Amino acid sequence: MANSDNLSGIKKREYVLGRDYLASVRLSLQHIQETGYHVHPSIPLRAGMEIMEVATGTGIWMLDLASKYPDINFHGTDYSLEQAPPREFLPSKVTLSKWDLLEGGVPEEYVGRFDLVHVRLLVCVIKNNDPLPILEKLVKILEPGGFLQLGEMDLVTNRFEHARPDLASSSFELAFNFPSTLDQRLGPIWVSDLSTQFGLAGLSSVVDQHDFRKKSHLSFYTDAAFLAWNEWREGMDESDKERYGSILGQARKDREEAKRGLALNMEIRTGVGRKEGGLSTM
C-alpha cells in the first residue's frame, strides 16, 4: 500500500501500531478478553468446518482454538505475517497467508468458502470511519448461512476509573485523547453502530453484545494501553512526538503515584452476523 506524501505523522503510516516483540506481547495481553468465549455460543462448531481469521496478527485467537478443536480447519490471513509464528510451528490444520483488506478485491479461492470468519481489533485499520468496504469483503468469503464474528474495543465509550476519590485522571485523559486529534482511525465512531453496519453489509445481526471491562482486569488493559500509546507515538511528527512523550510521562507518573489505582475502561463489543441462505442450522 503506497503512502501518500501530503499526509504527515501517524496519518502517513499505513499501520499505526508496532510489530516488535512488545507489540506482540500487547496483543497477547489484549487477547485475554473477559468475554468468556473465543467463539460466541450462538455459533455452532463442528469437525471439518472452515474458519478464517482475517488480520490475525500473532494468530493467538486461532491457535488457542486450534489446540481445543484439532478437527477444524483454520486459515489465518494478514497483510503482514511478521508477528505470526513460522509455518514450522503451526498445527497441521492451520495455514497462514497474506491478504491486504484495504487493497484490491477478494482472492477467488476464498469466495463463499468459510463457515465462520473472525476478525478482531481492526479499529486502528479502518479508514474514514467506514467499515463497510471491509465488511462486504468478509461477507463475500462466507458461505451462505455462514457467520461473521467481530470483536472490538469501543474506544469512544472510554471512561477512567479511580481506586480512590482523591485521584485525578486528567493526564490519563490527555494520553488517551491526544492521538485521536491527529488521526481519525484512533477515534472510531463506527463500533457503537455495529449492527447497522452489519445490516448494510447484508448480514442479519445475531448478537450485538457490549460490556465494560471488569475492574479486576483493568490494570492489565491499562498496561497494554501504555504499550499501544507508545507505538502510536513512534509514528508522530517530531513536535507531536515530543509533546506526547511528556503527556505519557506524566500519565505514567500519576499512575505510579496512584499505585496503579488509575485505569482506562471501555466497552468490549462483540457482533455476530449471519449471511443469508444455507441451512437454518449448520
Ligand X SMILES: C[S@@+](CC[C@H](N)C(=O)[O-])C[C@H]1O[C@@H](n2cnc3c(N)ncnc32)[C@H](O)[C@@H]1O
Residue-level length of the chain: 282
Nearer to ligand X, 100 or 257 (CB): 100
How far apart are the C-alpha atoms of 221 and 228, rounded to whole Å? 10
Helix, strand, or coil (residue 264): strand
Q: Is 40 in the site for ligand X (CB under 6 A)?
A: no
Q: Is 9 in the site for ligand X (CB under 6 A)?
A: no
Q: Is 27 in the site for ligand X (CB under 6 A)?
A: yes
Nearer to ligand X, 99 or 172 (CB): 99
Nearest distance from C-beta of residue 257 to ligand X, angstroms: 30
Residue owning grid cell 471488569: 214
Give the burial class of 47: count Cβ atoms within 10 A of its Cβ; 0-12 exposed, 13-18 middle, 19 or more buried: exposed
Give the burial class of 261: count Cβ atoms within 10 A of its Cβ; 0-12 exposed, 13-18 middle, 19 or more buried: middle
Nearer to ligand X, 254 or 267 (CB): 267
Query: Is there a contact between 273 and 204 (Cβ–Cβ < 8 Å)?
Result: yes
Q: Is 220 in the site for ligand X (CB under 6 A)?
A: no
Binds ligand X (CB under 6 A): choice among 39, 52, 125, 191: 125
Q: Is 135 in the site for ligand X (CB under 6 A)?
A: no
Nearer to ligand X, 61 or 221 (CB): 61
- Interface stretch with ligand X, choices 37-45, 53-61, 88-96, 158-166 (CB under 6 A): 53-61
Q: Is 23 in the site for ligand X (CB under 6 A)?
A: no
Residue of 269, 275, 237 lying closest to 123 (CA atoms)? 269
Nearest distance from C-beta of residue 156 to ligand X, angstroms: 17
Residue of 254, 125, 277 lying closest to 191 (CA atoms)? 125
How far apart are the C-alpha atoms of 274 and 205, rounded to whole Å? 7
Query: Is there a contact between 173 and 142 (Cβ–Cβ < 8 Å)?
Result: no
Q: Is 20 in the site for ligand X (CB under 6 A)?
A: no
Q: Is 51 in the site for ligand X (CB under 6 A)?
A: no
Q: Is 153 in the site for ligand X (CB under 6 A)?
A: no
Residues contributing to the site for ligand X (CB under 6 A): 15, 17, 27, 31, 55-58, 60-61, 78-80, 100-102, 120-121, 125
